[in-house]
Structure 1
Amino acid sequence: MRSQNETILGALFDRARSSADRPALTVGQDTLSWPRLAESIARFASSTRATGVAPGQRIGILSGNSVEAIVAYLGSIAAGCIAVPLPASLLRRDLAVLIEDCAPAMLVANASGEAALEGLCGAPVLSTQSEAASTNSFEAFLTAGDPGTLPLTMDPESGFNIIYSSGTTGRPKGIVHDHGMRNRQAARRVFDIGPDSVMLLSTPVYSNTTLMPLLAGLSHGAHVVVMPKFDVERYLEVAENLKATHTMLVPVQYQRILASPGFDDRDLSSFKVKQSTSAPMPIAVKQDILKRWPGRFVEVYGLTEGGVTLMLDAKRFPDKLQTVGRPAPDNDIRVINDNGELLPTGQIGEVVGRSPFMMRGYWNRPEATAALEWRAPDGETYFRSGDLGSFDEEGFLTLQGRKKDMIISGGFNIYPGDLESILLQHPDVEEAAVVGAASDRWGETPFGFVVPRTGSRIHADALREWANERLGRMQKIAGIALRKELPRSSIGKILKQELARDPALRQVQ
């Protein structure tokens, strides 16, 4: 076991004893100092134990981006329970699947979360918006707890949290991170985060995109600022006023921020490091960030499951913007073929990896965990990414898209990433996604969906001809449909499964 001060919670409680007047967490208009945050976590853990919820049981959190959601998340962990942050935007039928899967012993919810949960679960629900006198009030639950109760030292192999995958290709999988993995992850000093840092976050707190930098920020004493909901102008206002030093955003957020008419008038000189993750970023957007936004920009490619993480420090390697960088420290990344054999530099295959930051497994899904694993010749276990890519001679990885999205046309493998990169070179194209359309002649044939740049007068047929002049004979795009926007998940991933059902594909012969 690790000693308490080597853990996320241990570091947080140590900070509370030495940083009485400094803010630790801000969400919207609510700010907690370090002592107040530690006290709230201790009270939640104490009350949780008093209700009889046992270590190892799950506590579901359906309360949006709020102070209460983060206190409940950390308080659940301090009680020895497994925190399960749940997406607030889920349809009721999809939420029912997750509730049945994790079987929470208790839930924390805001008003909309309470309404969604009604009749789905017999476990008690703490309301973050009920009056303090109410029997299910989150506020009353905290008040009843013992503020002097410190979190226990946890077994590194015990569950820390469960984060559900997006579920766009079937039943969502619960990704179990244990205490050892989370503590090792948060302890890293990769991005120079410290007590003088201000970490600005605006993605959902049920996503690892938010939780990983939130935990790292609190572990190293930063002031973590979480927006209740992303808004471009509000983000810029907060970043300027609080002198944000660090942020984690997804590519579509960067695009919207940079497109703001007032962006160049903002003082963003306080930024040290900006990160992007969750989806590939167009090269033009990376170039725009380097040109107009002070500080380092680091693109992070990885899995919520862990094991595969690569980083591109764009300012250091401006000639490698077409890649997602090199393996992060302590990550061993390989490329394999369909037979599970290692491929040499330059050849395209599935990206696999291992590191000290790998999940415990999928909750109640041993078969899915086994399917994720690849055994190297030396017996070591690697995680499959499901992504196709290749390394260049300098160790930089270029992605070619999801393995399941590869288009097989007339027996020829077509990588959507190659076609998308060509489309994105057109000056009137803002975003592009390529999927396979059914073809009587070829089996499948490429079809593109494009979001034009604002003010452009692009025509789909002319764009298709332009792209096909730059593509190989077997890569030709059969058709292009123009769209105002592409379907995305809550953290910005393009949902190609939805595009594959678009009526425009029926027109392809």
Structure 2
Amino acid sequence: MTTSGVTGVDRLKPKIIEGEELVRFGPRMKENAEKFGDKPCVIDEVETLTWAEFGDLVARVAGRLQSMGIGPGHMVASLAENSAMNVVMYAGVLYAGACMVPLPFSATEEALIKERADCGASLLFTTAQYHDMAERLGADTLVDLADLRDWIGDAPAIDPVAVTDEDLFDMIYSSGTTGTPKGIVHDHLFRSRQFSRTSSYGLEEDGVLMMSTPLYSNTTLVAAIACMVRGATLVSMKKFNTIGFLELSEKHRATHAMLVPVQYMRLMDEPRFDEFDLSAYQCKMSTSAPLPGVVIEQCMKRWPGNIMEFYGMTEGGPATVLDCAAHPDKWDTVGQPQPGADMRVIDEDGNELPYGSYGEVVGRSGSMMPGYHNNPEKTREATWVSPEGEHFVRTGDMGRFDEDGFLHLLDRKKDMIISGGFNIYAADLEAVLRKHPNVADVAVIAIPSRDWGETPLGLVVPKGAASAEEIRDWANAQLGKTQRLSAVEFREDLPRSEIGKILKRELREPYWEGQTA
């Protein structure tokens, strides 16, 4: 076990909200278990747990942890796919006041070993699918979630352990593929403030939320934890597939879902989509990457309920929301800053730019990470201090705010293409290519050019009969002279992370081997 390496010196300072009343996770779980009793709480492919059953298991997981001396200041890790028992374990760790560290099973073994060592968790929960990998991570104690009830044994159901604002809630590791991954820590203040925002999107006790992205992702946790706090029902998918998602949505009368853009794309491409009764849906949420306007248009036509698109960081700070029903003319944006969020744009030297200028987006809000675990240097690198002395989180995203205050994102700063001295934003080129009827998916990357240093290449997953050259010429006819694609190449698919982000570094590597750039 270990205590957090985030000290008072390293901590970012979130906004102060006068008179706020915070919901604590542990006490709310006990309250919900008593209030909702036989109502379904968590459903997976194997079992359904009522709120009473869930609450008892969570309180006894905490009792078992307490008997091991685990509580506030300690970290517990997991390496496991989605399941009801994974949710129980996660909630039990929080109920005990400890910090939950869900390790990303999509990471390499090298990265996972570093993450387990960095967090120092000596107790690791896993499943049969990841047991062999888990054994190599160096934890003292390994518990299979299939045996969770046996591990609990006759441990008593305890009351929730008291925590402070600064006690750590969970830690999410960044998805970096090189170096030591960064542990992004969230304290109870961070998560408690997030809970208070969910009611405005209709996720209440009568809601049914589909969970189809991994529980180690902040994308998933934002919705899943809020679902539990609100007393709603959580439907857990072990692994996303279109037909399974649609079948479960219809069967359980799902009202809400948190999805990433690639899932929306795949659902819209599913030939059987319109066969399913999705009339119970009230709201679908999207995050992790901008949701293309053409996809929003299809979903709004074919799928009941609204779409709320969120932009933010696992680190917290910047936060925008796009209400797609209310703003059909802004589907090419990621919305406006959420209430309480202060967002600005800065240049290369860290100078604040006038409204409407292109630059790096920075943000500040009530929910901000205290810092990176054991890494004050990286915390400082991720922080911009305003002229007023306030801490902002640097996003690494390039964008601008329009005259109505909506944020237009362009690219990750590191992914910008510089060709012949001109800055080219891949997002602009991808937006044009997506409009072609024979393009199913697309990524634009920089490749070496003897004449221009770099030049844009379109990687397209095709549908239909158009050739790569035809698609390139069609797109170039709509692009500026300095933006034009050098070529389009076809791919069967594009590599993506578990939460749907295109792995552009992986796409670029073959073209840059042996290059100095």
**Does the alignment reach a TM-score above 0.5?**
yes
Residue 436 of structure 2 corresponds to residue 426 of structure 1: yes
Which residue in the other structure is 1:48 paired with?
Answer: 65
Aligned to 2:456, the other structure's residue is in SS state strand
Listed as ranges, the gaps of 5+ residues in structure 1 are 130-136
Which residue in the other structure is 2:169 paired with?
Answer: 160
With over 3 angstroms needed to count, the CA separation of the structure-2 counterparts of 1:122 and 1:210, relative to structure 1, is closer
Structure number with greater CO (CA < 8 Å, separation at least 6) is 2
- Judge conservation of contact 2:385–2:391 (CA < 8 Å) in 1: yes
From 424, 436, 441, the equivalent of 1:414 is 424
Residue 315 of structure 2 corresponds to residue 298 of structure 1: no
Which residue in the other structure is 1:132 paired with?
Answer: none
Matches within 5 A, 1:21-32: 21-32=38-49
Partners of 1:506 and 1:6 lie apart in 2 by 54
> How far does residue 293 in structure 1 lie from its aligned partner after superposition?
0.5
- Judge conservation of contact 1:168–1:497 (CA < 8 Å) in 2: no
Which residue in the other structure is 1:213 paired with?
Answer: 223
> How far does residue 42 in structure 1 lie from its aligned partner after superposition?
1.0
User: In the alignment, residue 489 of structure 1 is paired with which amino acid?
Assistant: S
User: In the alignment, residue 264 of structure 2 is paired with which amino acid?
Assistant: Y
With over 3 angstroms needed to count, the CA separation of the structure-2 counterparts of 1:241 and 1:54, relative to structure 1, is closer
- Give the count of matched residue pairs: 496
Aligned to 1:94, the other structure's residue is in SS state helix
Partners of 2:61 and 2:122 lie apart in 1 by 15
User: In the alignment, residue 172 of structure 2 is paired with which amino acid?
Assistant: I
Which residue in the other structure is 1:495 paired with?
Answer: 503
Residue 191 of structure 2 corresponds to residue 182 of structure 1: yes
Percent identity over paired residues: 44
- Name whichever of 60-69 and 338-347 sits farther off: 338-347
- Judge conservation of contact 1:407–1:415 (CA < 8 Å) in 2: yes
Listed as ranges, the gaps of 5+ residues in structure 2 are 1-18
Which residue in the other structure is 2:120 paired with?
Answer: 103
Partners of 1:447 and 1:400 lie apart in 2 by 17
Which residue in the other structure is 1:463 paired with?
Answer: 471
> How far does residue 345 in structure 1 lie from its aligned partner after superposition?
2.9
Partners of 1:313 and 1:182 lie apart in 2 by 23
- Judge conservation of contact 1:437–1:505 (CA < 8 Å) in 2: no
TM-score with structure 1 setting the length: 0.94
Residue 386 of structure 2 corresponds to residue 386 of structure 1: no
- Judge conservation of contact 1:78–1:151 (CA < 8 Å) in 2: yes
With over 3 angstroms needed to count, the CA separation of the structure-2 counterparts of 1:377 and 1:494, relative to structure 1, is same
User: In the alignment, residue 177 of structure 1 is paired with which amino acid?
Assistant: H
Partners of 1:343 and 1:333 lie apart in 2 by 12
TM-score with structure 2 setting the length: 0.92
Which residue in the other structure is 1:273 paired with?
Answer: 283
Residue 295 of structure 2 corresponds to residue 285 of structure 1: yes
> How far does residue 327 in structure 1 lie from its aligned partner after superposition?
0.8
- Name whichever of 3-12 and 279-288 sits farther off: 3-12
Partners of 2:226 and 2:90 lie apart in 1 by 15
Residue 349 of structure 2 corresponds to residue 339 of structure 1: yes
> How far does residue 497 in structure 1 lie from its aligned partner after superposition?
0.1
Partners of 2:212 and 2:69 lie apart in 1 by 34
Partners of 1:35 and 1:427 lie apart in 2 by 51
Residue 249 of structure 2 corresponds to residue 239 of structure 1: yes
Partners of 1:371 and 1:502 lie apart in 2 by 29
Residue 275 of structure 2 corresponds to residue 258 of structure 1: no
> How far does residue 144 in structure 1 lie from its aligned partner after superposition?
2.6
Partners of 2:362 and 2:309 lie apart in 1 by 18
- Name whichever of 305-314 and 168-177 sits farther off: 168-177
Matches within 5 A, 1:304-383: 304-383=314-393
From 78, 83, 89, the equivalent of 1:66 is 83
Give the aligned CA root-mean-square deviation in angstroms. Answer: 1.9
From 36, 43, 46, the equivalent of 1:19 is 36
- Judge conservation of contact 1:17–1:35 (CA < 8 Å) in 2: yes
Which residue in the other structure is 2:15 paired with?
Answer: none
